[in-house]
Structure 1
Amino acid sequence: MATYLIASIKVKNAEAFEEYKRQVPHTIAKYGGRYLVRGGEGEVVEGNWQTNRLVVLEFPDKNLFNNWYNSEDYKNLKILRKTHAATDLVIVEGI
């Protein structure tokens, strides 16, 4: 079953975060993931969402997501992201 990562990212250091944005797509694709949403203009239509940078990734299944998230390929990029951005992440299985 497909697994979706939904991320709300508040970038603290835009220059340093550019390096993360440049390097991360290759690691995502290596584990079968793909971007459905990557940044872009957001608009709140209900509730109290913060319109930070939103990203939605799709992985073929939860195992591939976990393999990517815990991989050596992503390890240093995860540190880079956490250093230069505040991120809320959620995963959900879908159809």
Structure 2
Amino acid sequence: MVAYLIVDAEQFDDERALEYRALAEASIYQYGGRYLVMGAEPEALAGTWPASRRMTVLEFPDKARLEQWHASPEYTAAAEIRKTAIDVRMVIADGIPG
């Protein structure tokens, strides 16, 4: 069953964020992930969404593969850069069986 990673992010260092994105994107594809939404500014239909925060949604073949990617040396290196450039919240959601 596919698994989704939903990311809520606020960028505070543009240069380092570009460096993070390059490494993260390569690692995502390496582990079978793909972008469904990339850095979008969400439009709130109910409640509020801070204007400074962006959303990314990734799809992986399954939860195990998503977790393998997140713990991988490739993504761990990217995440170290991310800590100095982007504030994130990440959640995993299982897809609906086909």
TM-score, length-normalised on structure 1? 0.92
User: Hey, what does 2:74 align to over in structure 1?
Assistant: 73
User: Hey, what does 1:32 align to over in structure 2?
Assistant: 32
Structure 1 runs (4+) deviating above 2 angstroms are 48-51
How far off its partner does 1:13 sit? 0.5
User: Hey, what does 1:88 align to over in structure 2?
Assistant: 89
The answer to whether structure 1 residue 60 and structure 2 residue 47 are counterparts is no
Q: In structure 2, what residue type is equivalent to 1:90?
A: V
- Aligned length, in residue pairs: 95
How far off its partner does 1:23 sit? 2.1
The answer to whether structure 1 residue 9 and structure 2 residue 9 are counterparts is yes
How far off its partner does 1:49 sit? 2.4
Given that 2:4 and 2:57 are in contact with CA atoms closer than 8 Å, whether structure 1 keeps it comes out as yes
Q: In structure 2, what residue type is equivalent to 1:38?
A: M
| d(CA) in 1 for partners of 2:94, 2:41 | 25
Unaligned segments of structure 2, at least 5 residues: none
Unaligned segments of structure 1, at least 5 residues: none
Considering only aligned residues, what root-mean-square deviation do their CA atoms show, in Å? 1.2
| d(CA) in 1 for partners of 2:22, 2:74 | 14
Judge which range, 80-89 or 61-70, deviates more. 80-89
Judge which range, 1-10 or 40-49, deviates more. 40-49
Q: What is the aligned-residue identity percentage?
A: 40
